[in-house]
């Protein structure tokens, strides 16, 4: 069938996450952006929602089974609150979720229980590289087998929360395919370099990193002997990011809509004019279409159908949609939209980020 | 029902049959019927009629039990092919069917023998007696057509401006209709080429504006009704689009749908009824658009694949050639429009309000498919532009979907008013 209703459990979760986004993230949005930092307390409260353990099987300490649909639903709410803070909150996922979905039994047993505790885990992933034309399927960072070890060499950028991280999942080119390796922060040759400031999402601290002859045991290769198919992993990331793009777009659309109904020009609200009203209608249509594309991809993933294509289409579509909608929101507010007093300029900066963030969020 | 994106098996199975018709009965005649405007797709009509009769019979049965239930009799519910407790998939099935048939040929699809929009209008308000008298014919005998006549030379999207009048002649107990209707799809098939009927919108009181608008059933062979003109069009040439002149056309008193009272506000069923049928018909137009769009996309993709252009679904955007990026854009737009259309249809089946979603689907599909088919011509170059292929025809056919059942602009207006909570006075 085609149906569009959440289960009651999903509804409850979405309500909870929405409340968190509204009460904890929204009020902090500007402060976190200007301070380029995420207030610990808000992140801790977000962590206590138990979103990640909800995707980890109970034998490893979690209390759930991964569902891309359920994740898409709450990601939309989180991103509606604030994208930068959400990416910060979701950083441990970058390490734990690939292990949960694609790791060997041993890897799950070793690492996952720590992600079901009360404390915000200090783990992240290094996938993106400092090049103009980045392709996660053709990484410059290399992993070479040497006896019972892998030797990793290369440079990474946009590594979230690297400075505090104790564990990294490092993606590298092994004989032409992308594989991932579990690397402890104290392994010799691991270096966290400068913090990089992105155009938006400042609440997420990201860093440059270098790996110089970093040796890890071969057991640290994600998925063990089988390894991973990076496109399958990116499918999850694409669905997640597309869902967040919908949330970001929704925030901007709602703000612009409310503004247009209140802002009076020529004696009546500007929303009375088709030039404004039609922009808003267009945004509503595009947001809804994208949401449906995200859900379809997530549904396929959950039902073990090949979701690669649907996820790719959804992400590509969402990348453009979120830029158009956030840009439209700035335009609806006119000069006021350009001023940092309103959030729409930040949302436009966030909106442009999605196309560059492949692999930077997973839930 | 939890979130689900799966075509029901029953529909899947049915579509395999429909696809055979689309591919083997419609496609081969596409070019001929485009070249020979106003000729009829006889083969298609005769082949599909038995199936349409069955569908009409099921719809009539359901409408009759609904109408009788309304009259206070309690009757077993639902004849829509769905058992008790099972969600109806009638509209979802129809959407898939229209999409597939339009993949075959949209002009030919529009010639499908059925009560069509007239049936929808009749179904919405008719008494059991009217249902029998007007719709029984679509379940038996020779192929028949129903049509809807709303548009006039000076009333397009502003339907409430119609000038056609209906005056009641008490002595004869008849309504007398006068005026001119234009752009009536299948009007000729309904009135001259079969024992069909047209639902004509007319005003019983011009000063009352939209409150005076009422639907009347005008049957074939009614004196005073003439087809004044058969339009020559950009596309969908297999389908007839006609002007109807009503010159003292007399119809029985019982041919008015709903009551004759002029009411404003909540009781104003006439105009509201007309708008309500759009909620059902707009997703259907969107589905037809998408069928054409899919035809154009698939053909372009498969043709270019033979030239060595392959679609990839895992590369970053910068790695795509511009042709790959164009094809990707076509596919995404098609999917976005189709999912919106399915949502609008699923809500309709669930008997939930779908005014917003049906207009969204119509806006999106009309625009997307206009773009997709235009792009297809461009990507295929001179061959795409030539009549050797069907691509140029699909581009001409597609355009109608951004126009009829409300232009893209009118539907954007409907969406805008809904999201802003504005009336037509606040947002003109």
CB contact under 8 A, A5 and B3: yes
For residue B176, the surrounding DSSP H or E stretch is: strand B174-185
* Structural domains of chain A, count: 3
Burial call A105-132: b when 16+ CB within 10 Å, e when fewer: eebbebbbebbbeeebbbbbbbbbbeee
Give the 3-state secondary structure of residue B386.
coil
Please list every residue in chain B whose beta carbon sits closer than 8 Å to the beta carbon of residue A134.
Answer: 316
CB contact under 8 A, B416 and A277: yes
Q: How far apart are CA B306 and CA B383, in angstroms?
A: 15
Nearest chain B residue to A134 by CA distance is: B316
Please list every residue in chain A whose beta carbon sits closer than 8 Å to the beta carbon of residue B360.
Answer: 284-285, 288
Residues A85 and A29 in one domain: yes
Residues A297 and A346 in one domain: yes
Torsion of CA B157, B161, B165, B168, to 10 degrees: 110
Residues A157 and A213 in one domain: yes
Q: How far apart are CA B370 and CA A274, in angstroms?
A: 22
**Among B3, B416, B420, beta carbon nearest to A295:** B3
Q: Is residue A84 part of a domain?
A: yes
Distance between A223 CA and the closest CA of chain B, angstroms:
21
- Strands annotated E in chain A: 2-3, 123-126, 142-146, 149-160, 167-174, 177-184, 190-196, 206-217, 264-265, 268-269
CB contact under 8 A, B331 and A313: yes
Beta bridge partners of B166: B177
Residues A101 and A141 in one domain: no
Torsion of CA B82, B83, B85, B91, to 10 degrees: 10
A163: left (phi > 0), else alpha (psi -120 to 50), else beta?
A: alpha
Please list every residue in chain A whose beta carbon sits closer than 8 Å to the beta carbon of residue B6.
Answer: 1-2, 299, 303
Beta-carbon contacts of B423 under 8 Å, excluding residues fewer than 6 positions away, are B417
CB contact under 8 A, B3 and A1: no
Residues A334 and A255 in one domain: yes
Last residue of a domain, one of A60, A87, A116: A116
CATH number where A127 lies: 2.40.110.10
Q: How far apart are CA A291 and CA A6, in angstroms?
A: 13
B425 touches chain A (CB under 8 A): no
Specify whether the CB–CB gap between A183 and A220 falls below 8 A. yes
Residue A247 domain boundaries: 230-356
Nearest chain A residue to B419 by CA distance is: A281
**Among B319, B335, B340, beta carbon nearest to A135:** B319
Residues A214 and A274 in one domain: no
Put simply, the chain A residues between 175 and 204 with a CB less than 8 A from any chain B CB are none
A257 touches chain B (CB under 8 A): yes
Q: Is residue A2 part of a domain?
A: no
Residues of chain A with pLDDT under 50: none
Nearest chain B residue to A312 by CA distance is: B313
Specify whether the CB–CB gap between A54 and A363 falls below 8 A. no
CB contact under 8 A, B314 and A295: no
A272 touches chain B (CB under 8 A): yes
B428 touches chain A (CB under 8 A): yes
**Among A2, A234, A274, beta carbon nearest to B5:** A2
Which pLDDT value is given to residue B79? 43
Q: How far apart are CA A123 and CA A200, in angstroms?
A: 22
Distance between B406 CA and the closest CA of chain A, angstroms:
15
Distance between A114 CA and the closest CA of chain B, angstroms:
32
Cα distances (Å, whole numbers) of residue B50 to B39, B97, B147, B225, B419: 21, 15, 19, 29, 43
Structure tokens at A318: 């969402």
Structure tokens at A18: 């929405």
Q: Which of A265, A185, A254, A240 is closest to A363 using CA atoms?
A: A240
CB contact under 8 A, A1 and B314: no
A1 touches chain B (CB under 8 A): yes
Residues A199 and A268 in one domain: no
Q: How far apart are CA A16 and CA A22, in angstroms?
A: 10
Please indicate whether residue B405 is annotated as part of the active site: yes
Nearest chain A residue to B338 by CA distance is: A289
Put simply, the chain B residues between 23 and 62 with a CB less than 8 A from any chain A CB are none
Q: What's the length of chain B?
A: 428
Express the helix, strand and coil content of chain A in percent, nearest 5 each.
55, 15, 25
- The one catalytic residue in B56, B152, B219, B405 is B405
Strand A268-269 to strand A264-265: parallel, antiparallel, or no bridges (unpaired)? antiparallel
Q: Which of B315, B332, B411, B418 to mutate to test the interface with A (most CBs of A within 10 A)?
A: B332
Which pLDDT value is given to residue B278? 85
Last residue of a domain, one of A96, A116, A136: A116
Specify whether the CB–CB gap between A359 and A237 falls below 8 A. yes
Distance between B61 CA and the closest CA of chain A, angstroms:
24
Q: How far apart are CA B377 and CA B330, in angstroms?
A: 12
CATH number where A111 lies: 1.10.540.10
Give the 3-state secondary structure of residue B137.
helix
Residues A50 and A99 in one domain: yes
Please list every residue in chain A whose beta carbon sits closer than 8 Å to the beta carbon of residue B2.
Answer: 3, 5-7, 10
Please list every residue in chain B whose beta carbon sits closer than 8 Å to the beta carbon of residue A234.
Answer: 314
Q: Is residue A302 part of a domain?
A: yes
Q: How far apart are CA B161 and CA B155, in angstroms?
A: 5
CATH number where A290 lies: 1.20.140.10
Residues A256 and A186 in one domain: no
Residues A157 and A63 in one domain: no
Which domains are present in chain B?
Answer: 9-267 (2.40.110.10), 269-420 (1.20.140.10)
The secondary structure of B181-229 as a DSSP string is EEEEETHHHHHTSSS-EEEEEEES-GGGGGGGEEEEEEETT-TTEEEEE
Q: Is residue A3 part of a domain?
A: no
**Among A3, A299, A358, beta carbon nearest to B1:** A3
The secondary structure of B113-127 as a DSSP string is -S-HHHHHHHHHH--
Please list every residue in chain B whose beta carbon sits closer than 8 Å to the beta carbon of residue A3.
Answer: 1-4, 87, 346
Specify whether the CB–CB gap between B49 and B143 falls below 8 A. yes
B426 touches chain A (CB under 8 A): yes
CB contact under 8 A, A69 and B3: yes
Helical ranges in chain A per DSSP H: 8-20, 29-35, 40-47, 68-81, 83-89, 91-102, 105-111, 230-262, 274-302, 308-333, 335-338, 344-353
C-beta atoms surrounding B212 within 10 Å: 23
Nearest chain B residue to A306 by CA distance is: B313
Q: Is residue A347 part of a domain?
A: yes
Which pLDDT value is given to residue B87? 78
Residues A340 and A242 in one domain: yes
Which pLDDT value is given to residue B75? 43
Q: How far apart are CA B312 and CA B314, in angstroms?
A: 6
A266 touches chain B (CB under 8 A): no
Nearest chain A residue to B410 by CA distance is: A278
Q: How far apart are CA A101 and CA A96, in angstroms?
A: 9
Q: How far apart are CA A200 and CA A203, in angstroms?
A: 8
Distance between B341 CA and the closest CA of chain A, angstroms:
10
Burial call A183-214: b when 16+ CB within 10 Å, e when fewer: bebebeebebeeeeebebbbbbbbbbbbbeeb
Please list every residue in chain A whose beta carbon sits closer than 8 Å to the beta carbon of residue B93.
Answer: none
Nearest chain A residue to B413 by CA distance is: A278
Give the 3-state secondary structure of residue B167.
strand
Specify whether the CB–CB gap between B272 and B125 falls below 8 A. no
Which pLDDT value is given to residue B270? 66
Query: What backbone phi and psi angles, to 5 degrees, belong to A197?
Result: -95, 125
B252 touches chain A (CB under 8 A): no
B178 touches chain A (CB under 8 A): no
Interface A:B, Cβ pairs < 8 A: 137
Q: Which of B129, B362, B149 is closest to B240 using CA atoms?
A: B149
Q: Return averaged pLDDT per consecutive 10 residues of chain B, 428 residues in all.
A: 95 96 97 96 96 93 86 49 65 96 98 94 90 97 97 89 95 97 97 97 91 95 97 96 98 93 68 79 96 98 96 92 97 98 96 95 98 98 96 98 94 97 95
Give the 3-state secondary structure of residue B166.
strand
Specify whether the CB–CB gap between A160 and A124 falls below 8 A. yes
Distance between B337 CA and the closest CA of chain A, angstroms:
7
Q: How far apart are CA B50 and CA B141, in angstroms?
A: 10
B422: left (phi > 0), else alpha (psi -120 to 50), else beta?
A: beta
Distance between B394 CA and the closest CA of chain A, angstroms:
24
Q: Is residue A32 part of a domain?
A: yes
Put simply, the chain A residues between 51 and 110 with a CB less than 8 A from any chain B CB are 69
Q: Is residue A273 part of a domain?
A: yes
Q: Is residue A250 part of a domain?
A: yes
A68-81 and A274-302 helices cross at what angle (nearest 10)?
150
Last residue of a domain, one of A220, A246, A279: A220
Residues A203 and A236 in one domain: no
Burial call A231-262: b when 16+ CB within 10 Å, e when fewer: bbbbbbbbbbbbbbbbbbbbbbbbbbbebbbe
Structure tokens at A244: 């967040």
Give just the sign of the alpha carbon dihedral A308, A309, A313, A314.
negative
B360 touches chain A (CB under 8 A): yes
Beta bridge partners of B424: none
- Dump pLDDT digits (tens) for A141-170: 999 999 999 999 999 999 999 999 999 999
């Amino acid at each position: 069938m085609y149906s569009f209703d959440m289960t009651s459990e999903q509804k409850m979760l979405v309500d909870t996450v929405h409340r968190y986004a509204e009460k904890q993230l929204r009020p902090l949005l500007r402060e976190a952006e200007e301070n380029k930092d995420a207030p610990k307390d808000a992140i801790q409260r977000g962590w206590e929602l138990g979103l990640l353990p909800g995707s980890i099987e109970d034998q490893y300490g979690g209390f759930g089974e991964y569902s891309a649909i359920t994740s898409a639903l709450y990601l939309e709410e989180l991103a509606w609150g604030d994208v930068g803070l959400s990416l910060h909150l979701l950083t441990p996922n970058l390490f734990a979720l690939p292990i949960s979905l694609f790791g060997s039994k041993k890897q799950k047993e070793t690492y996952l229980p720590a992600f079901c505790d009360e404390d915000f885990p200090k783990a992240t992933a290094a996938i993106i590289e400092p090049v103009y034309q980045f392709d996660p399927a053709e990484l410059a960072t290399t992993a070479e087998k040497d006896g019972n070890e892998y030797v990793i060499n290369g440079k990474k950028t946009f590594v979230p929360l690297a400075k505090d991280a104790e564990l990294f999942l490092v993606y590298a080119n092994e004989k032409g395919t992308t594989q991932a390796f579990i690397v402890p922060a104290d392994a010799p040759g691991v270096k966290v370099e400068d913090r990089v400031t992105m155009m938006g999402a400042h609440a997420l601290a990201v860093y440059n990193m270098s790996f110089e002859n970093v040796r890890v045991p071969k057991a640290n290769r994600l998925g063990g002997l089988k390894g991973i198919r990076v496109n399958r992993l990116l499918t999850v990331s694409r669905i997640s990011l597309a869902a967040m793009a919908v949330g970001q777009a929704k925030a901007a659309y709602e703000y612009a809509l409310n503004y247009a109904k209140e802002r009076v020009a020529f004696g009546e609200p500007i929303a009375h004019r088709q030039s404004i009203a039609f922009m808003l209608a267009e945004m509503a249509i595009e947001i809804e279409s994208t949401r449906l594309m995200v859900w379809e991809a997530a549904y396929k993933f959950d039902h073990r159908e090949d979701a690669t294509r649907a996820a790719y289409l959804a992400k590509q579509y969402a990348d453009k949609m979120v830029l158009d909608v956030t840009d439209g929101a700035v335009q609806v507010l006119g000069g006021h939209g350009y001023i940092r007093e309103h959030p729409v300029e930040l949302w436009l900066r966030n909106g442009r980020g999605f196309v560059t963030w492949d692999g930077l969020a997973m839930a | 029902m939890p979130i689900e994106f799966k075509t029901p098996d029953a529909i899947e199975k049915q579509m395999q049959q429909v696809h055979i018709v689309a591919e083997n009965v419609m496609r081969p005649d596409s070019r001929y019927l485009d070249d020979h405007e106003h000729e009829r797709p006889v083969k298609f009509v005769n082949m599909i009629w038995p199936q349409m009769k069955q569908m009409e019979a099921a719809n009539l049965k359901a409408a009759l039990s609904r109408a009788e239930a309304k009259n206070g009799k309690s009757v077993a519910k639902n004849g829509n092919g769905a058992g008790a407790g099972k969600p109806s998939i009638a509209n979802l099935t129809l959407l898939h069917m229209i999409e597939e048939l339009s993949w075959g040929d949209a002009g030919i699809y529009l010639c499908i023998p059925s009560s069509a929009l007239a049936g929808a209008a009749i179904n919405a308000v008719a008494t059991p007696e009217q249902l029998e008298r007007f719709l029984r014919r679509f379940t038996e005998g020779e192929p028949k057509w129903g049509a809807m006549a709303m548009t006039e030379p000076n009333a397009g999207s502003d339907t409430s401006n119609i000038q056609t009048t209906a005056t009641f002649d008490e002595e004869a107990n008849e309504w007398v209709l006068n005026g001119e209707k234009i752009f009536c799809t299948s009007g000729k098939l309904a009135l001259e080429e079969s024992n069909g009927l047209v639902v004509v919108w007319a005003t019983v009181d011009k000063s009352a504006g939209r409150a005076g608008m009422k639907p009347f059933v005008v049957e074939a062979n009614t004196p005073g009704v003439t087809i004044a003109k058969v339009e020559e069009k950009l596309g969908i040439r297999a389908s007839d689009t006609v002007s109807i002149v009503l010159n003292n056309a007399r119809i029985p008193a019982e041919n008015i749908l709903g009551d004759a009272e002029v009411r404003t506000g909540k009781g104003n069923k006439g105009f509201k009824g007309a708008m309500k049928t759009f909620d059902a018909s707009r997703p259907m137009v969107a589905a037809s658009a998408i069928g054409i769009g899919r035809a154009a996309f698939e053909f372009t993709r498969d043709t270019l694949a033979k030239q060595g252009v392959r679609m990839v679904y895992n590369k970053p955007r910068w790695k795509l050639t511009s042709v790959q990026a164009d094809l990707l854009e076509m596919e995404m737009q098609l999917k976005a429009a189709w999912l919106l259309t399915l949502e609008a249809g699923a809500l309709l089946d669930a008997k939930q309000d779908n005014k917003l979603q049906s207009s969204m689907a119509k806006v999106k599909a009309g625009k997307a498919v206009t773009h997709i088919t235009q792009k297809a011509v461009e990507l295929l170059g001179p061959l795409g532009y030539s009549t050797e292929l069907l691509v140029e025809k699909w581009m001409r056919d597609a355009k109608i979907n951004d126009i009829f059942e409300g232009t893209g602009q009118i539907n954007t207006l409907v969406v805008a008013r809904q999201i802003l909570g504005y009336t037509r006075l606040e947002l003109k």
